[in-house]
Homo-oligomer: A and B are copies of this chain.
Amino acid sequence: MRENEFVEQLKLRFPVRDPVSTGIGDDGAVLTNADGSASVIVTDMLLDGVHFDLANCTPESVGRKAVAVNLSDLAAMGCGPVAAFVSIAVSGLAESSRLLQGICRGIQTMSEQFGFTVAGGDTNSWDGPFAVNVCMIGNPFGDRAILRSTAQPGDSVIVTGPLGGSLRSDRHLTFHPRLHVSRLLATSFDVHAMMDISDGLGIDLHRMMDASGTGSLLTADSIPIHDDVPTDWSQPKRLKAAMSDGEDFELLIALPSELTENAGRLVQEHAGSAMTVIGTVTKRRGCRMIDVDGSECDLAPSGWQHH
Contacts and interface: CB of A to CB of B under 8 A. Distances in A.
Interface of A: 1-3, 6-7, 9-10, 13-17, 19-20, 22-24, 26, 28-29, 31, 33-35, 37, 39, 41-45, 47-51, 82-83, 85, 87-89, 92-94, 97, 100, 104, 108, 111, 116-129, 131, 133, 135, 137, 306-307
The copy count of this chain in the complex is 2
B31 A83 contact: yes
A128 B125 contact: no
Interface centre among A2, A34, A47, A119 (most CB of B within 10 A): A119
A47 B128 contact: yes
Given A123-B306, A131-B131, 10 more contacts: A1-B97, A3-B93, A14-B119, A20-B82, A43-B133, A45-B124, A47-B89, A49-B128, A93-B307, A128-B129
A120 B47 contact: no
Contacts of A127: 49, 129
A90 to B, nearest CB: 9
A120 B82 contact: no
Contacts of A97: 1
